[in-house]
A and B are shown apart, each in its own frame.
Chain A
């Protein structure tokens, strides 16, 4: 058996931009910035800031496009949670795997998916990462081992265990990272997956993005034991709770979990304590129904972008001009993604019948 996995670009003929714009990824490091020479540490911090700015500016444009009817259906923004994707993806190798829920734009972009193909997918265009067939909730890119974008709460958690199983089966040292919300920890599939991952020692990092609400329901109204990391103990798994508005806290914890997965082949459950700054989806108000404006504003003070920015300012690593430049670059990329999507054609009607089943037999 071999662990050499042949990876091909997703829909290569249809969206060359997806592969063309993939940035080279950093190799995994055991911990956040420890061990890096000082210059590289500064460069790393800038990269993380850039990633978060890009996610933020991109999604602000998504909200605008939604209001104009260019994006339809369900659209769940990630704004406020970007440190989790930025920190995690910065530690992954290209041959690692990512599985996530419907709140997937930030993770897709942080993983290196071209903002153009993501926006085109949201616009329902042929050049989108799934050819316009999936939409906001179903971003996939095989070339980046980005295994979707899933719409049923908790249902993708066992898929991550399955990816972990395949890694182990082939004797590889990759890891699979799985993102889901805190409300998913009450779903049976989550528990079944954790048990198998621990029982069979599968290299999976399970990441709970605890933004404290599942739609309009606060965690305290839905979850008997709010300390969700205790679910790790229930399955004899390592578990940690992290202040996820601090991208370096994210990197530290994910770094350790990846190390465990690569070397010991054991899974980890991480609780990322965060907050979503927008409504659950575009039809939900940011505050006023199930959470107060005051609560929202209080939490927005710990914007992950602000937290990192202030740290860098304090360390003298971010002259005013640099910040403006990073922000401007992010806006330009988001605008370019919009223009690209807007100019792209709708999928041809023949596509309706494609991809239902494959014609091959192996």
Chain B
């Protein structure tokens, strides 16, 4: 196994799937000549040419629709948004066209396509460029929503997303591209809809996804030094959600904290809590707590930004609270 960055793992997945299936193409802003705004598509133009690695004008609504139309007649597009903040301009196509096409057509038109790009906050990008969109997208029946945390997951999940015959929203962590990890060579897929137990313990369950799964692991390691061993359930796929893995863990630990990058109200964590109270009502020793971005737009100033984001201290405090240690 090679040690790769998250960026290179995604690049490898793209490359392998482009080789495997000539119906697959990548389209988006700066993906070809510039090698991608975040260099995820580096080298692909040279290898696959301009019909398969396609630069677009700044027209998110338009090229998302182009992808959908091409998928209706047999292609398998990967639509890259430079960031998910700009995908908002295309949300009509993602929600009203892609997500519902199969249903509206009584099963005639599946949408074998991927919408992907960086999601979540970065550093000091302020209110319009620092947002986590998974709860919005996970709300929509017809979509699958994937949020890889590690390079290996990024590769395995992207390959599965490209092969899936449904529209898959693939949310990459904007801050994760430079993170490193071991990645299996060649054919490696991870089924969508399966969570991953990334740390094991019996004191409490931390449920997280995407960048927050890394934070959860970091918190688990810190708590381990205090003799508190926690389960970390990385959802990996937010929709469909792997309720069974969450429930198995909570039945063991009897406590849970849900960690996410997005806002509190109607967030992914709210859904996790709902599943837990239905599946594990009699197993719980304390209320489930949530850690998330503060309920404000992301501020620019460094100190305010830091205060707005979920962090290790907030997560540790929540774990200790559900354990009645604080």
Among B34, B59, B61, contact of A216 (Cβ-Cβ < 8 Å): B34
Q: Are B29 and A215 in contact (CB under 8 A)?
A: yes
Q: Are A74 and B296 in contact (CB under 8 A)?
A: no
Interface check B57, CB cutoff 8 A: yes
Interface check B128, CB cutoff 8 A: yes
Specify which chain B residues have a CB less than 8 angstroms from the CB of A132 in the assembled complex.
299-301, 304
Complex: A280 Cα to B125 Cα, angstroms: 15
- Supposing A124-B300, A351-B304 touch, asked if A215 and B127 sit within 8 A by C-beta, the answer is no
For chain A, give the interface size range: 35 or more
Complex: A220 Cα to B307 Cα, angstroms: 44
Closest to A215 in B: B30
Question: B296-319 vs A: 1/0 string, CB under 8 Å?
Answer: 110111111001100000000000
Complex: A183 Cα to B308 Cα, angstroms: 33
Question: A197-232 vs B: 1/0 string, CB under 8 Å?
Answer: 000000000000000001111000111000000000
Q: Are B58 and A138 in contact (CB under 8 A)?
A: no
CB distance from A341 to the nearest CB of B (A): 12
Specify which chain A residues have a CB less than 8 angstroms from the CB of B303 in the assembled complex.
124, 346-347, 349
Q: Are B29 and A133 in contact (CB under 8 A)?
A: no
Among B29, B56, B126, B307, contact of A151 (Cβ-Cβ < 8 Å): B126
- Supposing A72-B123, A186-B58 touch, asked if A125 and B34 sit within 8 A by C-beta, the answer is no
- Supposing A135-B300, A217-B34, A290-B34 touch, asked if A72 and B124 sit within 8 A by C-beta, the answer is yes
Interface check A13, CB cutoff 8 A: no
Q: Are A214 and B58 in contact (CB under 8 A)?
A: yes
Q: Are B57 and A135 in contact (CB under 8 A)?
A: no
Complex: A298 Cα to B113 Cα, angstroms: 44
Among B34, B37, B58, B302, contact of A183 (Cβ-Cβ < 8 Å): B58
- Supposing A184-B58, A187-B58, A289-B34 touch, asked if A352 and B29 sit within 8 A by C-beta, the answer is no
- Supposing A188-B62, A347-B303 touch, asked if A353 and B296 sit within 8 A by C-beta, the answer is yes
Q: Are A124 and B302 in contact (CB under 8 A)?
A: yes
CB distance from A103 to the nearest CB of B (A): 14
Complex: A152 Cα to B127 Cα, angstroms: 11
Q: Are B85 and A152 in contact (CB under 8 A)?
A: yes
Classify the interface of chain A: helix, strand, loop or mixed: loop
Among A138, A216, A289, contact of B127 (Cβ-Cβ < 8 Å): A138
Interface check B33, CB cutoff 8 A: yes
The number of residue pairs between A and B whose CB atoms lie closer than 8 Å in the complex comes to 125
Specify which chain B residues have a CB less than 8 angstroms from the CB of A356 in the assembled complex.
295-297
CB distance from A356 to the nearest CB of B (A): 5
Complex: A121 Cα to B296 Cα, angstroms: 19
Q: Are A152 and B128 in contact (CB under 8 A)?
A: yes
Closest to A153 in B: B58
Closest to B62 in A: A188
Closest to A189 in B: B89
Interface check B17, CB cutoff 8 A: no
Among B124, B127, B296, B301, contact of A125 (Cβ-Cβ < 8 Å): B301
Among A134, A138, A217, A346, contact of B29 (Cβ-Cβ < 8 Å): A217
Interface check B294, CB cutoff 8 A: yes
- Supposing A132-B300, A138-B126, A216-B34 touch, asked if A186 and B57 sit within 8 A by C-beta, the answer is yes
8 Å CB contacts to A: which residues of B167-189? none
Interface check B275, CB cutoff 8 A: no
Interface check B48, CB cutoff 8 A: no
Q: Are B128 and A137 in contact (CB under 8 A)?
A: yes
- Supposing A151-B128, A154-B58, A186-B59 touch, asked if A133 and B85 sit within 8 A by C-beta, the answer is no
Closest to B34 in A: A216
Interface check B55, CB cutoff 8 A: yes
Complex: A186 Cα to B57 Cα, angstroms: 7
Q: Are A290 and B33 in contact (CB under 8 A)?
A: yes
Interface check B86, CB cutoff 8 A: yes
Complex: A39 Cα to B65 Cα, angstroms: 58
Q: Are A352 and B304 in contact (CB under 8 A)?
A: yes
Q: Are B123 and A73 in contact (CB under 8 A)?
A: yes
Classify the interface of chain B: helix, strand, loop or mixed: loop
Closest to B128 in A: A151
- Supposing A215-B29, A217-B29 touch, asked if A133 and B301 sit within 8 A by C-beta, the answer is yes
8 Å CB contacts to A: which residues of B11-57? 29-30, 33-34, 37, 55-57
Among B61, B296, B304, contact of A347 (Cβ-Cβ < 8 Å): B304
Interface check B321, CB cutoff 8 A: no
Complex: A137 Cα to B122 Cα, angstroms: 15
Interface check B129, CB cutoff 8 A: yes
Among A125, A134, A155, A217, contact of B55 (Cβ-Cβ < 8 Å): A217
Complex: A221 Cα to B128 Cα, angstroms: 27
Specify which chain B residues have a CB less than 8 angstroms from the CB of A289 in the assembled complex.
34
- Supposing A72-B123, A215-B30 touch, asked if A188 and B304 sit within 8 A by C-beta, the answer is no
Complex: A166 Cα to B295 Cα, angstroms: 32
Among A125, A155, A222, contact of B57 (Cβ-Cβ < 8 Å): A222
Complex: A171 Cα to B29 Cα, angstroms: 42
Specify which chain A residues have a CB less than 8 angstroms from the CB of B88 in the assembled complex.
152
Complex: A289 Cα to B300 Cα, angstroms: 30
Among B34, B122, B129, B302, contact of A346 (Cβ-Cβ < 8 Å): B302
Q: Are A221 and B55 in contact (CB under 8 A)?
A: yes
Complex: A353 Cα to B297 Cα, angstroms: 9
Specify which chain B residues have a CB less than 8 angstroms from the CB of A137 in the assembled complex.
126, 128-129
Q: Are A124 and B301 in contact (CB under 8 A)?
A: yes
Complex: A221 Cα to B88 Cα, angstroms: 24
CB distance from A212 to the nearest CB of B (A): 14
Q: Are A138 and B30 in contact (CB under 8 A)?
A: no
Q: Are B58 and A134 in contact (CB under 8 A)?
A: no
Complex: A132 Cα to B89 Cα, angstroms: 27
Closest to A289 in B: B34
Complex: A136 Cα to B307 Cα, angstroms: 20
Complex: A189 Cα to B88 Cα, angstroms: 13
Specify which chain B residues have a CB less than 8 angstroms from the CB of A151 in the assembled complex.
85, 126, 128-129
Supply 5 A–B pairs (Cβ within 8 Å), ascending by A: A73-B124, A73-B126, A135-B126, A137-B129, A356-B297
**Contact surface of B with A, Cβ cutoff 8 Å:** 29-30, 33-34, 37, 55-59, 61-62, 85-86, 88-89, 122-129, 294-297, 299-304, 307-308
Extra pairs beyond A124-B301, A183-B58, A352-B299 (12, CB < 8 Å): A74-B129, A132-B301, A133-B127, A150-B128, A153-B58, A153-B86, A217-B57, A346-B304, A352-B294, A352-B304, A352-B308, A356-B297
